[in-house]
Amino acid sequence: MKRLLLLVAAGLSVVAFAGAVGLPDFAGADAAPTTDSITVNGVGSVKAVPDESQMSFGVETRRSTARAAVAANADAMRAVINALRPAGAREIATQWVSVYPSSDPNGQVNGYTASNSVSAVSDVADAAGVIDAAAGAGANQISGPGLSSSDAEALYRAALAKAVESARLSADAVAKAAGRSLGPVTAIVEAGAQPTPLYREAAAAADSATPIVPGEQETSATVSVTFSLR
């Protein structure tokens, strides 16, 4: 009987020992190492004088019949287009052609109006001459100029680089204030921006009947950058 009790006691001690060394630690199974980080915004900008001008030129013609209005309008628009190219316009493209009736106070049709408009691009230095040439050739609808830079993409990339550097400087200042240092970048989110005119005089066509003052434009970029912390 004593021998049986000893065996049972021995068996219990083996089970207890196996449980002590073999069972998993479920309490810490979901724990994962965490990394401190900081996220800051950075803004960068560059300034440049625009060198391209976008404009549109139209001719509106009124005649007693639609056919006569369209024919007269076509002749007038050819004259305008022929004047644009020698003045320095390029990328000339038709925007629309339309014809519609006009009515008297009693609602009776008393004629037709045809309209034709083209867009064109020129160097800013040629914009004044292009406008004057179009007006002289018979354009009676003129809009623009819209000013832009031919190297807009390069300007934006330069602004983007400045934005990232701005974010790094801000993050470094915050990290040092907290007694930490910056680690690698873990995420960058880009938010684009459009060029903004600064209205600063850069050049003027003083010898032209239509002065064009391009001023400066500021191209900016914004980024959100996340750095790990050491």
Report yes or no: 49 and 214 within 8 Å, Cβ to Cβ. yes
pLDDT tier at 191 (50, 70, 90 boundaries)? confident
Domains present along the chain, CATH in parentheses: 37-49+151-229 (3.30.110.170), 52-148 (3.30.70.360)
Spatial CA neighbour of 198 closest among 213, 219, 215, 220: 215
Those residues whose C-beta lies under 8 Å from the C-beta of residue 21, and which sit 6 or more positions away, are none
Residue-level pLDDT at 195: 60
* Residue 186 C-alpha from the chain's centroid: 25
Residue-level pLDDT at 38: 92
pLDDT tier at 136 (50, 70, 90 boundaries)? very high
* Residue 221 C-alpha from the chain's centroid: 9
Residue-level pLDDT at 126: 92
**How many whole angstroms separate alpha carbon 57 and alpha carbon 66?**
21
Report yes or no: 52 and 107 within 8 Å, Cβ to Cβ. no
Report yes or no: 89 and 66 within 8 Å, Cβ to Cβ. no
pLDDT tier at 200 (50, 70, 90 boundaries)? very low
Q: Rounded mean pLDDT of 29-38?
A: 62
Q: Rounded mean pLDDT of 179-202?
A: 74
Enter the tokens of residue 17: 């020992």
pLDDT tens column, 150-169: 888 899 999 999 999 999 99
- At 170 the three-state DSSP class reads helix
Report yes or no: 43 and 22 within 8 Å, Cβ to Cβ. no
Residue 67 has pLDDT above 70, yes or no: yes
**How many whole angstroms separate alpha carbon 16 and alpha carbon 8?**
13
For the whole model, what pTM was predicted?
Answer: 0.62
